[in-house]
Chain A
Amino acid sequence: MNDLSQASINAFQLLISGNSDIWEIISLSFGVSFSAILIATPPALVIAFFLAFFQFRLRRACIALFNTFMSVPAVIIGLTLYLMLSRSGPLGDLKLLFTQQAMIIGQILLCFPLLVAMAHASFQAADRRAWETAITLGAKPWRAFFTLIYEVRFGLIAAIVAGFGRVIAEIGCSMMVGGNILHATRNIPTAIALETSKGEFAQGIALGMVLLVLSLSLNAGVSIFQGKGELRS
């Protein structure tokens, strides 16, 4: 117990003193996850919009597919991506294994179904009149699309925040395709796992606190934005 409280105090000191390793890991984590969300969001919104607003064959199947893919475990995505990117895999020539790019790709795959499913729910709940009003007032479809995004922005922000919450905390995929290399691909979750397994609790706890605070605030954020969306409509 004494060890643990000592470790916690050390953890605080590490964070406050601006320990460069710790902050590098934190910023790498953010960098990778922000990139993944940034790349995944625009196509996810377009797909979600089409699924909500247009009738076409296999529409229901598509929706079911995205809902199902939401629950694929991160480590399975990691495994699949690993096999694709490994030297003998079909994408081996890209030499992406154990790079940040590989982690970004993994996280994109991880958050994409969630983004589509949640954004689809938002668009589904949106008022059809919003689209018709924009069009009848002369907006081109692209502008009407952005108008609609604005109208349901709180639901979409909730989706993005939830997606970010999922990728910033996942470990399976980052571990498999990133490899947890210090200064290169070590992010918060993989660092926690490594430090703890080495018995160095201070850094693990410090990063754990960061992640915990972050996850709690992200989840709170999702609820707040979803609530705001409901109030408006």
Chain B
Amino acid sequence: MNTLIQFNNIRISLSRKPILNIEKLIIPSHQCTLMTGRNGSGKTTLFKIMSGLLKPDHTTVEYQGLTMDWKQAKPYIQKDIIYLHQQPYLFDASVAENIAYGLHRNGENKSVAHNKVMQALDWANLSHLAHRSAKQLSGGEKQRVALTRARILSPRLLLLDEPTASMDIEAKKQTSELLQRLKTEGVSIMISSHETHTVDHIADHHLHLEEGVLTSLELKSNTDNVTVLNPSRHTK
């Protein structure tokens, strides 16, 4: 198992209340890590720290052979790790413009960017929605646009904050399928969930967050009492 990135001693207090105290967090590359924890256990906080959006009180980051503090690591993790909100936020623009948003940072020329967007739309089966206003999409469609908008930037790691929490079965299936494909493409994925019994079948590891402490659990493989997020695996 190769390590993509490792965080040591993540500590953060919000409004003087200690939220996280994580000794070690190892994210393996090309794999999917499931992180469970009840509401308020700090999943979102952890993801925001990992993606460079929220400064912790302390952490060290081991990445690409370097050991850095959070501030030094920020440019690296902001470039390679993308955080997706529980309810994705789409800009007040068309679907295609939303997907193109991040391409600006690479200074891509217009026609290259355009082609990339077309391919990405096709990849996610969103071509028919290209010119629709993103604000009018359904929750599942928004999630797929957000995933596509992230994927186009070739991130190393995607952090998905309770991606399927408020979705119907059909939307869950489509999202799971896209995640599966992302994983095959070599993107590392971390998914959070507040249902401890949920097992997403694309997950390779299971972490559990409780009282600010992270523990590693055996991945439950019996599906008797768990919600199945990705049924495709059963048929194989």
Partner of A232 from the list B82, B105, B135, B153 (CB cut-off 8 Å) is: B135
Contacting pair B53 A232 (CB below 8 A): no
The interface residues of chain A lying within 8 Å CB-to-CB of B87 are: 129
Tell me the smallest distance from the CB of B92 to a CB of chain A, in Å: 6
Partner of B85 from the list A129, A138, A143 (CB cut-off 8 Å) is: A129
The interface residues of chain B lying within 8 Å CB-to-CB of A22 are: none
The interface residues of chain B lying within 8 Å CB-to-CB of A232 are: 92, 135
CB within 8 Å for A127 and B83 given contacts A132-B53, A143-B104: no
- Main SS at interface, chain B: mixed
Rounded to whole angstroms, the CA-CA distance of A48 and B168 in the bound complex is 39
Which chain A residue lies CB-closest to B79? A138
Q: Which of B85, B87, B149 has the most CB of A within 10 A?
A: B85
Rounded to whole angstroms, the CA-CA distance of A189 and B97 in the bound complex is 46
Interface code A131-142, partner B: CB below 8 Å = 1, 0 otherwise?
011111111100
The interface residues of chain A lying within 8 Å CB-to-CB of B48 are: 132
The interface residues of chain B lying within 8 Å CB-to-CB of A129 are: 85, 87-89
Contacting pair A138 B89 (CB below 8 A): no
Tell me the smallest distance from the CB of B121 to a CB of chain A, in Å: 17
Tell me the smallest distance from the CB of A152 to a CB of chain B, in Å: 9
The interface residues of chain A lying within 8 Å CB-to-CB of B135 are: 232
Contacting pair B89 A147 (CB below 8 A): no
Which chain A residue lies CB-closest to B86? A129
Interface positions, chain A 91-112, Cβ under 8 Å from B, are: none
The interface residues of chain B lying within 8 Å CB-to-CB of A137 are: 82, 101-102, 105, 149-150, 153
Contacting pair A138 B92 (CB below 8 A): no
Contacting pair A135 B91 (CB below 8 A): no
Contacting pair B149 A136 (CB below 8 A): no
Contacting pair B92 A133 (CB below 8 A): no
Which chain A residue lies CB-closest to B93? A150
Q: B143 near A: Cβ within 8 Å?
A: no
Rounded to whole angstroms, the CA-CA distance of A179 and B180 in the bound complex is 73
Contacting pair A136 B51 (CB below 8 A): yes
Q: B78 near A: Cβ within 8 Å?
A: yes
Tell me the smallest distance from the CB of A57 to a CB of chain B, in Å: 16
We find that the number of chain B residues with CB closer than 8 angstroms to chain A is: 23
Which chain B residue lies CB-closest to A139? B105
The interface residues of chain A lying within 8 Å CB-to-CB of B51 are: 136
Q: A130 near B: Cβ within 8 Å?
A: yes
Q: Which of A137, A138, A139, A147 has the most CB of B within 10 A?
A: A137
Contacting pair A135 B92 (CB below 8 A): no
Contacting pair B105 A127 (CB below 8 A): no
Which chain A residue lies CB-closest to B47? A136
Contacting pair A136 B89 (CB below 8 A): no
Rounded to whole angstroms, the CA-CA distance of A132 and B52 in the bound complex is 10
Contacting pair A151 B153 (CB below 8 A): no
Contacting pair A130 B105 (CB below 8 A): no
Interface positions, chain B 86-117, Cβ under 8 Å from A, are: 87-89, 91-92, 101-102, 104-105
Which chain A residue lies CB-closest to B135? A232
The interface residues of chain A lying within 8 Å CB-to-CB of B81 are: 136
The interface residues of chain B lying within 8 Å CB-to-CB of A130 are: 89, 91
The interface residues of chain A lying within 8 Å CB-to-CB of B88 are: 129, 133
Partner of A136 from the list B78, B91, B92, B104 (CB cut-off 8 Å) is: B78
Which chain B residue lies CB-closest to A143? B104
Partner of B91 from the list A132, A138, A151 (CB cut-off 8 Å) is: A151
Rounded to whole angstroms, the CA-CA distance of A134 and B135 in the bound complex is 16
CB<8 Å pairs between A and B, sample of 19: A129-B88, A129-B89, A130-B89, A132-B48, A133-B85, A133-B88, A133-B89, A136-B53, A136-B81, A136-B83, A137-B149, A137-B150, A137-B153, A138-B102, A138-B153, A139-B102, A139-B105, A150-B92, A151-B92
3 smallest beta-carbon distances between A and B, as pairs: A129-B89, A137-B102, A138-B105
Q: Which residues of B contact A (CB under 8 A)?
A: 48, 51-53, 78-79, 81-83, 85, 87-89, 91-92, 101-102, 104-105, 135, 149-150, 153
A132-B89, A136-B78, A137-B149 given; name 4 further pairs at CB < 8 Å: A132-B83, A138-B78, A139-B105, A151-B91
